[in-house]
Chain A
Amino acid sequence: GNSVTQMEGPVTLSEEAFLTINCTYTATGYPSLFWYVQYPGEGLQLLLKATKADDKGSNKGFEATYRKETTSFHLEKGSVQVSDSAVYFCALFFSSNTGKLIFGQGTTLQVKP
């Protein structure tokens, strides 16, 4: 079946450090891939997305590239800030399906000043 696996957290970094959060997926076909962010006590917000292989999604300094050969969609940021502290979810869906999202378990990022 279709699934998403993220690296376990929490990930703790100092401000201005480089961030990588790994995400790999298992899917039959070619899904669209998303990264959502959840700040404490809030709902999810779309951070970035990619709809086909080799696409790069980017937003607010975050980037992720859709790698079909490694079935991965790793999230990166060159210099994190304390305000980036949140839970990050990788997700996939098929537009030919019902629009249902399949989520990874989430990775908590803590950035210390």
Chain B
Amino acid sequence: DGGITQSPKYLFRKEGQNVTLSCEQNLNHDAMYWYRQDPGQGLRLIYYSQIVNDFQKGDIAEGYSVSREKKESFPLTVTSAQKNPTAFYLCASQDLPSYNEQFFGPGTRLTVL
């Protein structure tokens, strides 16, 4: 089955540690996105990528970094510079150039202890 996988589902880290969230898709989509979701709020865009080895900052990129070395993979690193990293993180992918719907993964809940 085609889809998007995110791992792990739950992640705990200590303050001051970097942590990397995995996102893999087998839909052959060109574009991939990372969103952050906080309780009672909509989704906010962190980073996105439309092609391998290229990515752009979204609305809240500070304290985060990404890479896009392979078409199917778009890992997100939450660095120690992110002041309030506890949140639910969602990865999505989208076919280009049709710009049709975005498909979402199941999410990773990150908790900073």
Contact = CB atoms under 8 A, between A and B. Distances in A.
B63 interface: no
A106 B101 contact: no
Contacts of B106: 42-43
22 contacts: A34-B101, A43-B4, A43-B104, A43-B105, A43-B107, A44-B90, A44-B104, A45-B104, A46-B103, A89-B43, A95-B99, A98-B56, A99-B31, A99-B94, A99-B96, A100-B45, A101-B33, A101-B102, A104-B42, A105-B40, A105-B41, A106-B42
Interface of B: 4, 6, 31, 33, 40-43, 45, 48, 50, 56, 58, 90, 92, 94, 96, 99, 101-107
Interface residues on A, range: 20 to 34
Nearest to A36: B104
Interface in A30-49: 34, 36, 41-46, 49
B68 to A, nearest CB: 14
A25 interface: no
B99 A93 contact: yes
B108 to A, nearest CB: 10
A99 B48 CA distance: 10
A41 B107 CA distance: 8
Contacts of A101: 33, 43, 45, 102
A103 B92 CA distance: 14
B42 A89 contact: yes
Nearest to B59: A100
Contact of B48 (A44, A46, A98): A98
